[in-house]
């Protein structure tokens, strides 16, 4: 079982409710001091009681794209808080073998995600989030009159120049994981169907390249998860769910997915 979960608990969203209960916004600072450990004790007890004490927990997915990654201070606090959570959960009887996936997204912001590394003993997998989306010039979206050959060239350039070889691309994270003696994983990967979100649309080349990467034993990819979810606000997010929508919306990519991953 691979579970993704946020690190910060919900607090009252309205100022008057927060004031009435004496609670401000949840914070990394409080987490780093152990204030929320009781939540994670309960979760560990629940997992152990249901035979899930060997689950993989992916804490705060894509943390470098969230408030956790917006400053050097936050990344340091994130690492401290991570240590609180892992040590707390593994201290629960029956949950000693829980595994933890440290999961940045494929991007380089002001502060490098590796600043938030909590320590080799407290991470089991380095997980990288990749979408077939690009902010590189002259890639996505392509002009309406673009030829099939031009579209394919742009898709190939996104994979090669951005996803694979960029400053914090897959090859960077592969080397990072190997330096720390950890297997790599792709715990969230998907197509991006929205042109306004700079997506590659119905892109079987992306499917091919992900398959080739995870199948290469030199990359030590322990597991991968295609982003298989249906949102209620599909107009905003676009369709992702393979069984329900991919056949209709991404026919070429769906056929490639079935060919390569279906077995």
Given this model, what pLDDT does residue 23 score? Answer: 55
Average pLDDT in the 60-71 region?
A: 76
The contacts of residue 261 (CB under 8 Å, 6+ apart) are 207, 211, 226
Q: How confident is the model at residue 118 (pLDDT cuts 50, 70, 90)?
A: very high
Percent of the chain with pLDDT strictly greater than 90 = 66
What is the H or E stretch that residue 2 is in? strand 2-5
pLDDT band at 202 (very low <50, low <70, confident <90, very high): very high
| Domain boundaries of the chain, sorted by first residue | 2-261
Rounded mean pLDDT, 23-47: 92
What are the C-alpha distances in Å from 192 to residues 30, 134, 236? Answer: 36, 10, 12
Backbone phi, then psi, for 224, in 5-degree steps? -145, 155
**Is residue 126 a contact partner of residue 102, using CB atoms and an 8 Å limit?**
yes
Q: Which range is least confidently modeled, 19-28, 128-137, 239-248, 253-262?
A: 239-248
Tell me the per-residue pLDDT of 219-263, one tens digit each, with 9 for 90 and over. Answer: 999 999 998 665 555 454 554 454 556 777 789 998 999 999 986
- Looking at the structure, give the CATH architecture of the domain made up of residues 2-261: Alpha-Beta Barrel (3.20)
pLDDT in tens, 141-195: 999 999 999 999 999 999 999 999 998 899 999 999 999 999 999 999 988 876 5
Which position has the higher pLDDT, 149 or 16? 149
Report the pLDDT averaged over residues 88-97: 98
Phi, psi of 128 (to 5 degrees): -115, 130
177 by Cβ neighbours in 10 Å (0-12 / 13-18 / 19+) ranks as: buried
Average pLDDT of the chain to the nearest whole number? 87
Strands across the sheet with 56-59, in order?
2-5, 56-59, 99-102, 125-131, 184-190, 221-226
Q: How confident is the model at residue 110 (pLDDT cuts 50, 70, 90)?
A: low
pLDDT at 51 exceeding the cut of 70: yes
């Amino acid at each position: 079982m691979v579970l993704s979960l946020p690190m910060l608990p919900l607090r009252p969203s309205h100022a008057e409710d927060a004031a009435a209960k004496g609670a401000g916004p949840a914070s990394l600072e409080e987490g780093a001091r152990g204030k929320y450990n009781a939540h994670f004790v309960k979760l560990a007890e629940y997992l152990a009681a249901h035979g899930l004490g060997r689950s993989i927990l992916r804490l705060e997915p894509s943390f470098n794209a969230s408030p956790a990654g917006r400053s050097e201070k936050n990344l340091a606090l994130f690492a401290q808080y991570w240590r609180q959570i892992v040590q707390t959960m593994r201290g629960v009887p029956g949950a000693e073998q829980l595994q933890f996936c440290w999961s940045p997204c494929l991007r380089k912001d002001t502060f490098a995600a590796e600043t938030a590394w909590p320590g080799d003993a407290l991470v089991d997998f380095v997980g990288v989030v990749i979408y077939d989306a690009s902010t590189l010039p002259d890639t996505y979206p392509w002009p309406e009159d673009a030829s099939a050959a031009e579209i394919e060239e742009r898709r190939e350039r996104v994979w090669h120049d951005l996803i694979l070889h960029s400053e914090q691309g897959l090859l960077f994270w592969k080397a990072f994981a190997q330096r720390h003696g950890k297997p790599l994983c792709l715990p969230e990967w998907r197509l991006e169907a929205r042109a306004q979100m700079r997506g590659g649309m119905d892109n079987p080349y992306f499917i091919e390249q992900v398959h080739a990467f995870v199948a290469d034993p030199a990359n030590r990819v322990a597991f991968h998860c295609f982003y298989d979810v249906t949102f209620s606000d599909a107009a905003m997010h676009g369709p992702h769910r393979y069984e329900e929508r991919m056949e209709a919306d991404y026919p070429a990519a769906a056929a490639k997915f079935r060919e390569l991953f279906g077995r």
